[in-house]
Structure 1
Amino acid sequence: MKAYVFPGQGAQFTGMGLDLYEKSPLAKEYFEKANSILGFSITDIMFQGTAEQLKETKVTQPAIFLHSVILAKVLGDSFQPEMVAGHSLGELSALVANGVLSFEDGLTLVSKRALAMQKACEIAPSTMAAVLGLEDTIVEETCAEIDGVVVAANYNCPGQLVISGETSAVEKACAALTAKGAKRALLLPVGGAFHSPMMEPAREELAAAIEATQFSTPSCPVYQNVTATAITNPAEIKKNLMIQLTAPVKWTQSVQQMIADGATEFIEVGPGNVLQGLVKKIDRAAVTSSAIF
């Protein structure tokens, strides 16, 4: 069974999507539609912008979404997913790819998500840190012992967990985790504490937008970040997406469940190959590749 996986924030690069735009009239049509929906020329920034411009939240998230979704669209009949999953932002790409959301609604939600997260980041100093080489339970227990807000946010692969919360609490957690034997516990260059209680204002704002959006029955199950299980009920998909911003990304558990449910090949759709690397660390025997137009 083919599992298609969609990357999240951090996968962007200058020039992303330009080959699709130049080679495919269908891709060009979707990119131009995106410029119109967003109200600015995101293609100019994607194709010729600097790394700094691409890092702006209002650009990064739509750019990665567009690269992934438009690539899936131009693959045509060769794109036949039997299961999909996306890492954080990538879940919205996955939901367009399997027919739950229209292209227009997906892009609108991604844009609202990015702006809501940016606003939440400005409320209080917050950050994230990568913790390498410790059991998940040790990281979880240590975070629970720290004064202030700090939680496990991204279960990326065994031995790699990202924590998230108030800057001071994350710094204290890093020191405590290093003392407990972490190979590394380093702050990440991010704008705020994603997938933590610090994103509650963004969750509320995005939930209202999700509530007002039409969700259709998917063509195949989506393994959602919040549950790490196969979901096909549109109402359930909607509910899980609403709480995703303040809940952890259970990527390790999602991939393990996909394999248990019969996934034999993982195909990454979008910029970069980060997810392929994570899948290999979760299961060395897994077959991985990039979707190519």
Structure 2
Amino acid sequence: MKAYIFPGQGAQFTGMGLDLYEKSPLAQEYFEKANDILGFSITDIMFEGTAEQLKETKVTQPAIFLHSVILAKVLGDDFKPEMVAGHSLGELSALVANGVLSFEDGLTLVSKRALAMQKACEAAPSTMAAVLGLDDHIVEETCAEIDGVVVAANYNCPGQLVISGEIEAVEKACKVLTEKGAKRAILLPVGGAFHSPMMEPAREELAAAIEATEFSEPTCPVYQNVTASAVTSADEIKKNLMIQLTAPVKWTQSIKAMIADGGTEFIEVGPGKVLQGLMRKIDRSVAASGASLAE
């Protein structure tokens, strides 16, 4: 079975999407529509902006979403997903790709998500750290023992778990995890503690926007971050998406579930190759590649 996977924040690069725009009139149409919906020229920043400009959350999230979703649309008949999943922000790209959300509603939610997260980050300073080379349960137990807010946030692949929370608590956890044998425990250059209780104000704001948005039945199962299992009901998808910002991204578990359910070919749709790299660490025997336009 063909599985399509969609990247999240961190996959952006300068000049992203320009090749799509230049090669496809359909892509041009969608990019121009996006500029109208967002109320600023995101294409200028994507195609010609600096890495610094692209790093702004209000730009990064819509930019990655647009690159992914427009690439899927331009692939046309070649794009036939039998299962989909997206890493964090990528889940919204996946939901447009499998017909749950319209392009316009998906982009509007991504923009609201980015602004709500930015606001939550500014309200309470917080951070994330990558922990390499330890079993998940050791990381989870250590986080539970630390005073303050620090939780397992992204289960990226075996031996790579991202923790998230208050700055002091995350720093303390990094120190203890290094003592327990982590190869590395390094703070990440992010604006805040995504996928932790620190995102509660953003979750509330986004939940209201999700509630007001129409969700259709999917054309194929989506393996959601929150459940790491196949979800095929529009109502359930909506409910899970509402709690995604404060819940961990169960990426390793999602990919394993997709393979167990018959996923044999995984195609990353969007900028970069982050998810292909994680695929190789989760299960090297499964084919993973990136979607691209025919010349």
- Normalised by the length of structure 2, the TM-score is 0.99
| Cα distance in 2 between the residues matched to 1:81 and 1:169 | 41
Report the residue type matching 2:259 in the other structure. Answer: I
| Cα distance in 1 between the residues matched to 2:254 and 2:227 | 8
Equivalent position of 2:95 in the other structure: 95
Matches of residues 178-193 of structure 1 in structure 2 within 5 Å?
178-193=178-193
**Alpha-carbon distance, 1:124 to partner:** 1.3
Equivalent position of 1:286 in the other structure: 286
| Cα distance in 2 between the residues matched to 1:279 and 1:243 | 25
| Aligned residues between the structures | 293
Secondary structure, in 3 states, of the residue corresponding to 1:270? coil
| Cα distance in 2 between the residues matched to 1:197 and 1:65 | 24
Q: Cα deviations across residues 240-286 of structure 1 (Å, max 9, x unaligned)?
A: 00000000000000000000000001000000000011011000101
| Cα distance in 2 between the residues matched to 1:272 and 1:19 | 14
| Cα distance in 2 between the residues matched to 1:234 and 1:213 | 11
Does 1:155 pair with 2:191? Answer: no
Question: 5+ unaligned residues in a row in structure 2: which ranges?
Answer: none
Does 1:238 pair with 2:238? Answer: yes
| Cα distance in 2 between the residues matched to 1:90 and 1:289 | 17
| Cα distance in 1 between the residues matched to 2:70 and 2:284 | 30
Q: Cα deviations across residues 18-76 of structure 1 (Å, max 9, x unaligned)?
A: 01101100000000000000000000000000000000010000000000000000000
Equivalent position of 1:2 in the other structure: 2
Equivalent position of 1:224 in the other structure: 224
Report the residue type matching 2:62 in the other structure. Answer: P
| Cα distance in 1 between the residues matched to 2:14 and 2:185 | 29
Equivalent position of 1:42 in the other structure: 42
| Cα distance in 2 between the residues matched to 1:271 and 1:182 | 30
| Cα distance in 2 between the residues matched to 1:112 and 1:124 | 19
Secondary structure, in 3 states, of the residue corresponding to 2:72? helix
Equivalent position of 2:271 in the other structure: 271
Equivalent position of 1:146 in the other structure: 146
Runs of 4+ in 1 over 4 A off after TM superposition: none
**Alpha-carbon distance, 1:125 to partner:** 1.5
Secondary structure, in 3 states, of the residue corresponding to 2:130? strand
Secondary structure, in 3 states, of the residue corresponding to 1:122? helix
Does 1:116 pair with 2:120? Answer: no
| Cα distance in 2 between the residues matched to 1:232 and 1:44 | 37
| Cα distance in 2 between the residues matched to 1:124 and 1:243 | 19
Report the residue type matching 1:134 in the other structure. Answer: L
Equivalent position of 1:132 in the other structure: 132
Equivalent position of 1:57 in the other structure: 57
Equivalent position of 1:12 in the other structure: 12
Secondary structure, in 3 states, of the residue corresponding to 1:191? coil
Q: Among the aligned pairs, what percent are the same residue?
A: 87
**Alpha-carbon distance, 1:200 to partner:** 0.1
Q: Cα deviations across residues 200-235 of structure 1 (Å, max 9, x unaligned)?
A: 000000000000000001110000000000001000
| Cα distance in 1 between the residues matched to 2:142 and 2:73 | 44
- Normalised by the length of structure 1, the TM-score is 1.00
Report the residue type matching 1:116 in the other structure. Answer: A
C-alpha RMSD of matched pairs (Å): 0.3
Secondary structure, in 3 states, of the residue corresponding to 1:252? helix
Report the residue type matching 1:152 in the other structure. Answer: A
Report the residue type matching 2:89 in the other structure. Answer: L
Question: 5+ unaligned residues in a row in structure 1: which ranges?
Answer: none
Secondary structure, in 3 states, of the residue corresponding to 2:131? strand
Q: Cα deviations across residues 2-22 of structure 1 (Å, max 9, x unaligned)?
A: 000000000000110001101
| Cα distance in 2 between the residues matched to 1:169 and 1:112 | 28
